[in-house]
């Protein structure tokens, strides 16, 4: 079983993740704003600035959910494929795209561990707040590497571990008490949010995750911590 989840049966984890995102899909965007105080919007803006999408490129936004990253990349003129394992999340995303008049994107169901795309197809691969939910993370990283062209760019936006000591304590108290309460209040679902917080706690720290990216074949790997590493952008290149 994948890194950091040794005590969880893989099928059970994939099923549980499916359930969580089916439960939260309709409230997902509201909850992101509520839980991060709107900060997730800034993190996503910075992330897309690092990706630098360009017209004519093919970009895969993996675990793209309701489209937050894809919508930020769309103005570049890049051809964007949004892939996610959860049809309910994609459904919300497609409705949002229609409302915004963004009809050029491809929305498709896919498991990050086993992609239906050919080798060396995409110029860039993005995954935001998605990789920690994947059961076999090394497998997903290898798939990302496979579908990228040579010279392709790989970007992960994910919660990590903040190295600011006082802040870590505040965050811990916040996430374990307040987040499930917010989940109960706004989405009538405390358990799903308890799972999400737990999955953040279990995710490998920055050096370990950077190493995993290297092991999947990426080079010139880099980490950019935000808020001391509460959130981080990991990136690498395929050569
Ligand atoms: N990227 C979007 C964003 O930043 O708003 C959505 C992030 S949401 C927290 C995580 C997404 O990962 C969910 O839509 C979930 O369905 C998806 N997901 C979880 N496991 C996956 C897997 N194995 N393959 C593809 N998507 C997965």
What ipTM goes with this model? 0.99
Q: What is the pTM of this model?
A: 0.93
Residue 86 known to bind ligand: no
At residue 3, does pLDDT exceed 70? no
Over residues 77-86, mean pLDDT: 97
| C-alpha of residue 234 to centroid of ligand 1, in Å | 17
Average pLDDT value over all residues in the chain? 91
| C-alpha of residue 35 to centroid of ligand 1, in Å | 17
**112 CA closest ligand 1 atom index:** 24
Predicted confidence at residue 8, as pLDDT, reads 63
At residue 229, does pLDDT exceed 90? yes
Greater pLDDT, 171 or 81? 81
CA distance 236 to 220: 6
Tokens describing residue 110: 């896919």
CA distance 88 to 95: 11
**86 Cβ closer than 6 Å to some ligand 1 atom:** yes
| C-alpha of residue 30 to centroid of ligand 1, in Å | 16
Count CA within 13 A, CB hemisphere, residue 193: 24
**199 Cβ closer than 6 Å to some ligand 1 atom:** no
| C-alpha of residue 188 to centroid of ligand 1, in Å | 20
What phi and psi, each to the nearest 5 degrees, are found at residue 55?
-55, 140
Report whether 60 contacts 117 (CB < 8 A). Answer: yes
Mutate to test the pocket of ligand 1, among 11, 46, 47, 65 (most ligand atoms within 8 A of CB): 65
Beta strand extents in 21-97 (DSSP E only): 58-62, 79-84
**235 Cβ closer than 6 Å to some ligand 1 atom:** no
Q: Dump pLDDT digits (tens) for 142-190.
A: 999 999 999 999 999 999 988 888 888 888 888 888 888 888 888 788 8
DSSP letters along 119-147, please? TT-EEEEEEES-GGG-SSHHHHHHHHHHH
| Domains of the chain from N-terminus onward | 10-237 (3.40.50.150)
Predicted confidence at residue 36, as pLDDT, reads 87
């Amino acid at each position: 079983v994948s890194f950091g989840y040794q005590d969880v049966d893989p099928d059970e984890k994939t099923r549980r993740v499916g359930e969580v995102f089916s439960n939260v899909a309709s409230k997902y965007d509201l909850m992101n704003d509520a839980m991060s105080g709107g900060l997730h919007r800034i993190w996503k803006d910075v992330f897309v600035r690092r990706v630098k999408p360009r017209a004519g490129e093919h970009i895969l936004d993996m675990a793209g959910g309701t489209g937050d990253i894809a919508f930020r990349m769309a103005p570049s003129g890049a051809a964007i494929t949004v892939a996610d394992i959860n049809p309910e999340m994609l459904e919300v995303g497609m409705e949002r795209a229609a409302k915004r008049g963004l009809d050029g994107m491809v929305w498709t169901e896919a498991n990050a561990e086993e992609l239906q795309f050919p080798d060396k197809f995409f110029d860039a691969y993005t995954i935001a707040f998605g990789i920690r939910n994947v059961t076999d993370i090394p497998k997903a990283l290898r798939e990302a590497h496979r579908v990228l062209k040579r010279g392709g760019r790989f970007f992960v936006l994910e919660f990590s571990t903040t190295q600011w000591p006082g802040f870590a304590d505040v965050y811990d108290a916040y996430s374990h008490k307040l987040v499930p309460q917010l989940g109960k209040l706004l989405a009538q679902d405390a358990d799903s949010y308890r799972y999400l917080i737990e999955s953040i706690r279990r995710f490998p720290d920055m050096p370990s995750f950077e190493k995993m990216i290297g092991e999947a074949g990426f080079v010139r790997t880099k980490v950019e911590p935000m808020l001391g590493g509460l959130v981080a952008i990991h990136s690498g290149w395929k050569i």
